[in-house]
Structure 1
Amino acid sequence: MPRPSHDVRAFDARATDADLDDLRARLAAARLPEAETVRGAAPGPRRWAQGVPLADLADLVAYWRTGYDWRAFEARLDRIGQFRTTVDGLGIHFLHRRSARADAVPLLLTHGWPGSVAEFVDVVDELADPQDADAPAFHVVVPSLPGFGYSDKPATTGWGIERMAAAWVELMGRLGYDRFAAHGGDWGGVITTVLGGRFPAHVLGIHTLTPQAPPGLPTDGLTAAERAWTEETRAFWDGPRAAYAKQQAARPQTIGYSLVDSPVGLLAWILDKFAEWSHTEDSPFETMSRDRVLDNVTLYWLTRAGASAARIYYESHDSLDPDLRVDVPSALSVYPRDIEKCPRPWARERYRNIVRWNAPGAGGHFPSLEVPGPFVADLREGVAAVLAARR
């Protein structure tokens, strides 16, 4: 059982009625631009070629204003269990769902951008207390990254991936979990890699959706499919689709004014990524709930996190130590419509003990929202492989 924790306080998040009324008023008064000039294109990527189509955004804004229920999401967070503590001088918010199972293993889940703890609310219960008694169970901890959600906003520079990983080790130890498994995607996947590489005494093993190869590896010896992965990834980062990352890495404060002042601007900025990075033919809502996407966006809005969350790019873009190696058991999953796909031979250059490699048949950058059932199965199998390798 975990040792008694200190400086961990139950947290009760409640937006004021005035804040919610202000949001609805801003949505009602929104000034929208004219329609995109590719309007009329058939459903598919071409329809989104200039960004979020006007009709889609207008419909979602109307639902956000008149049909969406933020209080239901607040209640959902409360049922899971919300807490705050101060780590390295910064207030950190986290969800903590302890399993009823005696054999449960501590599992840390780390989100990225433009996500939040909302990415995991639909899978926490099943991970903690699975319906199948033979499935592994976990004590689940889901922190909000610094500058995201109900975590504090850093007032100085220096909160990059290395410091966040160290803070997570302190957080888990404070909860009594001196040894734990870790999972993440997007920035959460990079932080998970740092956890595995820097803290092997505390990390049982990792499961990441974002394997990070060392730079400068040749394509010699890769299969045609693996070379295609490298070309797709290079095209993404070298082309205009990565403009959001370059903007947030170079000038997060500038874009932050719009993201904190305009709920429609914030919605469009985030929805664009949920649409482009999901495994769908047209709308992200083919696989994801409108409510869950709006839970995520509303959390950014109410906590005024548009600028502070964007600063993770300023602090950490291209900052992963090229010489970092991960020796703890590692399970790596590469979803077919993710934006960054690392070939297995390249991954082996950083992750020295890959115990499971998986390329699921469906899903994109947000599999816990797009394909929650298969995501849970993949995560369970990956962590089970990690734990088996330590026996």
Structure 2
Amino acid sequence: MFSNNESLSLLISFLSLFIQTPPLPEINVNEWWGPRHLKSIQDTSIRPFVVEFNASMIADLRHRLRNTRQMTPPLEGTGSEYGFNTKEIPRWLRYWAEEYPYQDRVVEINKYPQYKTNIQGLDVHFVRVIPKVPIGIEVVPLLVLHGWPSSYLDFYALIPVLTSVSPHRDFVIEVIAASLPGFAFSDGAVRPGFGVDKMAVVLRNLMHRLGHKKFYTHGADWGSVVMSNMATFFPNEVLGYHSSMPTIFSPLQAFARIVGDYFPSLVVRPEVADRMYPLSNFLSKIVRESGYFHLQATKPDTVDIALTDSPAGLLAYFFEKISVGTREYYQHRADGGLELHYTKEQLVDNLMVYWASDSVATAGRIYADSFSPRYFSLRTDSIPSSVPAWILQAKYEISYIPPWMYKLKFPNLVNETVLDTGGHFLALELPVVLAEDIVRAVVEFRRLQHKGKKKEGRNCEVNSDFVDLLCLLQFYKVINLLCI
């Protein structure tokens, strides 16, 4: 007999027989996104890069921090429900202007080798750490991508774990932590339409430039969406995909979510049902916390004028999102709960990367170019990818997706790791936990490679009989499409 969620997933698979899978979009791997006049003189070298906090930039920043207008007091009895509490901001501005150790921190930021190279007209910035290993140990490449309002610095604490040699495995990981195009020290596109699908192509080309025709990936937030597109477009190159924020947007998963609001046991295991339902709570949270999303998906440049000009505004805007992304209930705290999980240096380091690179505006455009009619028309989340996938889901992540539902996109889902703690910014909050999970995923991906076949994800809350039926339904779906 099938369990409830197996029965619903079987129904979804049956419904999928009548929904034609969209075709794979045409992919131009050489599409030019930089200034057109530079196309004929593109420099494809890999150049060392060093982050600088020069004296004039620091002086200007301190002047702005010291000369902010007096802020409107928060309403009585509120924490950060109306936005980051204005009583808390002055102490952060004093720290940033007077106590933040600029030169010590820039040394810390530069502790790993950084580079730039021009891909499709855009200078792409990345950290690359190649471990030295004894004979007999293979070095395998891993591309890791951050989201917004994060940066490549999120992964610094993971690097020692990922690049360490272990007697329990015959490989070690080379880490490539890239700045998403438009973020930090990576150039943004000079014309519209540069969504996550286009970024996936650029970053795949980056890996080729580095000599890696096949590689593993990890993504968080927007990085996860970029990596999902990469696995869709280049399934023979992505050896395995690890995500700490799995997401799909398709009619079938939306239908399943709605059904689950009435019958939760049909969709999700009881022990994690509260992460999805009641649906009214989830939708209320999305409406309450996604104002920035709608703004940046429609008119990003307007708000970015303020964030680019005012470091106080940038701090308040970013800290509010980091606070609620860490724990939603921190909105009731005046301090946002930030220092319960992160150091002052970590939080301001991230601000400094955006400020020093003047990338606030180009980073914000990812929302407008990815939540667009052009991108939605591709329906990439409805195109299954054969790439082996592994998902990690933190307790306080923005949303939870049942493994069987994620298998609609990644049929070769290998494993789900469920945490009883942790929020959206997991690389900063629990770096060792995340790094060790990535290593476990790569171990399993390699095991599947060595077996010469892809695993069918049988440990993801489905039994073997159900998998066989699901495979049979997929087979009939193929036959159905061939007959159209």
Please report the TM-score for the alignment, with normalisation by the length of structure 1.
Answer: 0.92
Q: CA deviation at 1:6?
A: 5.5
CA 1:51–1:126: 2 relative to 1, 3 Å: same
Structure 2 gap segments, 5+ residues each:
1-42, 261-265, 451-484
Cα distance in structure 1, aligned partners of 2:435 and 2:72:
41
2:130 maps to which of 93, 98, 119:
98
Instruction: Tell me which amino acid in the other structure corresponds to 1:21.
Output: A
Deviation digits for residues 182-213 of structure 1 (CA, Å, limit 9, x no counterpart): 00110001111111111112110100112123
| Aligned counterpart, 1:304 | 358
- TM-score in terms of structure 2 length: 0.75
Q: Which residue of 2 aligns with 1:222?
A: 267
**SS of residue matched to 1:163:** helix
- Identify the residue that residue 371 of structure 2 maps to in structure 1: 317
Matches of 2:163 and 2:421 in 1, distance apart?
Answer: 24
Match of 1:346 among 383, 389, 405: 405
Match for residue 15 of structure 1 among 50, 53, 58? 53
Kindly indicate whether the alpha-carbon contact (under 8 Å) linking 1:338 and 1:364 is maintained by their aligned counterparts in 2: yes
**Identity of aligned pairs, percent?**
26
Distance 1:107 1:339, change over 3 A: same
1:364 to 414, 420, 423: 423
The structure in which a higher percent of residues are helix is 2
**Which of 54, 61, 64 in structure 2 is aligned with 1:26?**
64
- 2:174 is paired with a residue whose SS is strand
Inter-partner Cα distance in structure 2 for 1:199 and 1:74: 36
- The alignment partner of 1:182 has SS state of strand
Pairs within 5 Å for 1:165-244: 165-216=200-251, 217=253, 218=256, 219-220=259-260, 221-223=266-268, 224=270, 225-226=272-273, 228-229=275-276, 231=279, 233-237=282-286, 239-244=287-292
TM-aligned CA deviation for residue 322 of structure 1: 3.5
Give the secondary structure class of the aligned counterpart of 1:54: coil
Cα distance, 1:290 vs structure 2: 1.3
The answer as to 2:114 corresponding to 1:88 is no
Q: Which amino acid aligns with 1:356?
A: N
CA distance in 2, matches of 1:193, 1:233: 24
- Which moved further from structure 2: 319-328 or 331-340? 319-328
* C-alpha separation in 2, matches of 1:193 and 1:374: 22
Q: Is the 8 A contact 1:100 1:129 kept in 2?
A: no
Output the CA distance in 1 between the equivalents of 2:275 and 2:396: 13
Asked whether the 8 Å contact 2:44–2:119 carries over to 1, the reply is no
**Greater alpha carbon shift after TM alignment, 243-252 vs 324-333:** 324-333
Secondary structure class of the residue paired with 1:36? coil
Moved more, 5-14 or 340-349: 5-14
Q: 177-186 or 280-289, which moves further after superposition?
A: 280-289
275 and 349 in structure 1: CA distance in 2 versus 1, 3 angstrom threshold: same
Q: SS at 1:378's partner residue?
A: helix
Kept after mapping to 1: 8 A contact 2:126/2:177:
yes
Alignment CA distance shift 1:348-1:208 (3 Å): same
Structure 2: distance between partners of 1:213 and 1:323: 8
Cα distance in structure 2, aligned partners of 1:134 and 1:60: 44
Question: Residues 42-97 of structure 1, C-alpha deviation per residue, up to 9 Å, x if partnerless?
Answer: xxxxx221111123222111111111123233223332100000001111111000
Per-residue deviation at 1:155?
1.2
Query: 1:314 is aligned with what amino acid?
Result: A
For residue 391 of structure 2, what is the amino acid of its counterpart? Answer: L
Q: CA deviation at 1:174?
A: 0.9
Distance in 1, matches of 2:283 and 2:243, equals: 20
Equivalence for 2:298: 250
Residues of 2 paired with 1:125 and 1:260: CA distance? Answer: 33
Looking at structure 1, the residues matched to 108 and 208 of structure 2 have their Cα atoms a distance apart, in angstroms, of: 26
Pairing 1:63–2:95 present: yes
Q: Distance in 2 between matches of 1:212 and 1:300?
A: 26
Q: What is residue 317 of structure 2 aligned with on the other side?
A: 269
What is residue 44 of structure 1 aligned with on the other side?
A: none
Residue matched to 1:380? 439
Residue 35 of structure 1 is matched in structure 2 by 73
1:202-237 Cα shifts (integer Å, max 9, x gaps):
110100112123423223521354475162544333
Q: How many residues end up aligned between the 2 structures?
A: 379
- Helix, strand or coil for the counterpart of 2:380? coil
The runs of 5 or more residues in structure 1 that have no matched partner are: 42-46
Structure 1 distance, partners of 2:290, 2:250, is 18
Partner of 2:110: 78
Q: Distance in 2 between matches of 1:211 and 1:262?
A: 34
Q: Report the alpha carbon displacement of residue 345 of structure 1 after superposing the two structures with TM.
A: 2.2
Q: Secondary structure at the match of 1:79?
A: coil
CA distance in 2, matches of 1:268, 1:33: 12
In structure 2, relative to structure 1, the CA distance for the partners of 1:157 and 1:379 (3 Å cut) is same
> Of the two, which has the highest radius of gyration?
2
Q: Report the Cα offset of residue 284 of structure 1.
A: 1.6
Partner AA of 1:295 in structure 2: D
Is the 1:209–1:335 contact (alpha carbons within 8 Å) kept by the matching residues of 2?
Answer: yes
Answer whether contact 1:256 1:306 (CA < 8 A) is retained.
yes
Decide whether aligned partners of structure 1 residues 158 and 72 sit closer, same or farther in structure 2, where only a CA change above 3 A counts.
farther
